[in-house]
Amino acid sequence: MADGSGGSGGSGRGLERTLIVVKPDAVSRGLVGEILSRFERRGFRILELRLLKLGRSQAEDFYRPHAGKEFFESLISFITSGPVVAAVLEGRNAISAVRAMVGPTDSASAPPGTIRGDLGLGLTDNVIHASDSRESFEREVEVLFPGFLSREAEAGTSAQG
């Protein structure tokens, strides 16, 4: 049961869940532990964790909002190029706090201290994906952890709402 200790503590107000995906470049560079430990040190709980290799159709479903964009094919190619580590994190204001820890998409412009600023190498090989909204989380988590939302609803443990 969530105790509100994620993030900066408190009564559980603002407690929510988000999804991160440690991308193939970070997995191949041995950065999974470094990345996950940053979230744990910030007080986030890891609720689900999975190492997987995305197939093309799963990757297309995951990145559906970018379909038709110029970079879509290279994004699909990259995310399917090797294993990824997906995790559901829980903590206070998780979506915005995790996005702040991750930094801007382009690692070259990400400030030091952010995950991408410290570990990313470029625009595509930027080591991590993080859900940018509750709606994105709900769509993305069902691609990588099918049934997660319904299991949470049945258990009565949803922190999203």
In the residue annotation, 66 being an active-site residue is answered as no
User: Is 71 part of a structural domain of the chain?
Assistant: yes
Number of domains forming the structure of the chain = 1
pLDDT tens digits, 120-149: 999 989 999 999 999 999 999 999 999 999
Distance CA 124, CA 146 (A): 26
Q: Give the pLDDT mean for 82-99.
A: 98
The one catalytic residue in 128, 129, 130, 148 is 129
Note whether residue 9 is domain-resident. no
Domain of 63, CATH number, reads 3.30.70.141
pTM over 0.85: yes
Mean per-residue pLDDT, 16-43 = 98
- Structural domain of residue 129, as residue ranges? 15-144
Is 104 inside a domain boundary? Answer: yes
Kindly state whether residue 154 falls inside one of the protein's structural domains: no
Task: Say if residues 84 and 21 touch (Cβ distance below 8 Å).
Answer: yes
How is residue 17 written in tokens? 């869940």
Can you spell out the DSSP letters for 46-67? EEEEEEE---HHHHHHHTGGGT
Predicted pLDDT of residue 108: 94
Is residue 46 domain-resident? Answer: yes
Is the pLDDT score of 13 beyond 90? no
pLDDT of the residue at 153: 87
